[in-house]
Structure 1
């Protein structure tokens, strides 16, 4: 079993790689095994993944802070090692194939980079009554998720989920022991690079239900173009 930071790295990789457009996934995997693959798409995928990892984790190379370009280069190298057969399986939305790719990339990165949790600087959440949220923003007891949530990792059922609105990935929730609490669920928005309109990109809640509802609240607000209002 991976330690906390290893689990977190794999979860982040799964989030950022699986949120790539279907066109990019098809270009990476090809239309048959080893046929019509477009290796030039790897750099774009790696750059997106590096942006996500560098925002979420403290990454060092040889004891010094790693650059985004350096992280992207390492991710690209790892993706180029993915076999034609495994890459093609990604186009089927094969969960096991995604797990295998994320594991392969994670192992490669762990061999050349050092990862740690990034110290929290308060940038993801505003000052508030509780957990980064004002009292009127709290998830109420009767609120239930509206989207479709499914296990991200079949070998760890119950503590890692990805949420979808139709075919669109809304975000991810997972439980991980970062603080010594067994009941802390972290959530991540599957951002597409569009403006956040004042909404945080990540945070935590006390339960899986609350975390899923939080992701959905932010997702549907962004879809509607509604910014966060924190005054009052």
Structure 2
């Protein structure tokens, strides 16, 4: 697997796993090391994560497209291998623990599946006047992000950020060579299975600021139940 694909996989896992509810994380990690862990939450966590990965990555098994169920099964198997100590550290909001978890799950998936970037077909981006947006939807020059944005990988600062509204993950923005468009900042809305209401789940902007603002606009519109028209 190419390094850039591996980095992308780990970043997507970081996004998908860390957006799980605090209740699920607590059930998975337990209330003390090895105490009161509810491993039944592994299945829904794995399904949510597989849904996210299969949306943005091309995942196959022996040359054939892998099903979401198959990917979820592999993720669940990886999560069952997590030690009690590491699982409990997740409940303590340890960035190091989350990084270790993402690497562990990624290595498991890389060992049993073939993973590549998904050729972009435009299906996730709004189609309209300019850059996928109507004139009244464009971000303005003075607009600034309101949420908390931090590096996706604490030990490897770079052009990859995740935005939070309190404890809720809003989405991710990144700039990588993989896309052959170094001047573009790509953005993704955190997937939680809720209706998109006409809003796109991904796209790009010309700057990190604009991409972060775009994520926040869509996140808060979805939170309010607002439809996108036009």
TM-score, normalised to structure 2, is 0.95
Matched residue SS, 1:228: coil
Output aligned runs, 1:51-200, within 5 Å.
51-200=51-200
Q: Is the 8 A contact 2:48 2:192 kept in 1?
A: no
* Structure 2: unaligned runs, 5 residues or longer: none
In the TM superposition, residue 132 of structure 1 has moved relative to its aligned partner by: 1.6
Q: Which has the higher contact order (CA 8 A, sep 6+)?
A: 2
In the TM superposition, residue 65 of structure 1 has moved relative to its aligned partner by: 0.7
Matched residue SS, 2:179: coil
Residues in 1 aligned to 2:60 and 2:115: alpha-carbon distance in whole angstroms:
7
In the TM superposition, residue 127 of structure 1 has moved relative to its aligned partner by: 2.3
| Number of the residue aligned with 1:227 | 227
Deviates more, 1:19-28 or 1:188-197: 188-197
CA deviations 1:91-132 (Å, max 9, x no partner) are 011111101100000011001101111122221123223322
How many pairs are equivalent?
Answer: 230
In the TM superposition, residue 209 of structure 1 has moved relative to its aligned partner by: 0.5
Structure 1 runs of 4+ off > 4 angstroms? none
CA deviations 1:58-114 (Å, max 9, x no partner) are 110011110111111110111111111111000011111101100000011001101
Deviates more, 1:180-189 or 1:42-51: 180-189
Q: Is the 8 A contact 1:28 1:39 kept in 2?
A: yes
Residues in 2 aligned to 1:34 and 1:21: alpha-carbon distance in whole angstroms:
20
Q: Is the 8 A contact 1:125 1:133 kept in 2?
A: no
Residues in 1 aligned to 2:23 and 2:151: alpha-carbon distance in whole angstroms:
24
Matched residue SS, 2:129: coil
Residues in 2 aligned to 1:126 and 1:201: alpha-carbon distance in whole angstroms:
9
Deviates more, 1:187-196 or 1:8-17: 187-196
In the TM superposition, residue 33 of structure 1 has moved relative to its aligned partner by: 0.8
Residues in 2 aligned to 1:130 and 1:8: alpha-carbon distance in whole angstroms:
27
In the TM superposition, residue 175 of structure 1 has moved relative to its aligned partner by: 1.6
- CA RMSD of the aligned region, Å? 1.5
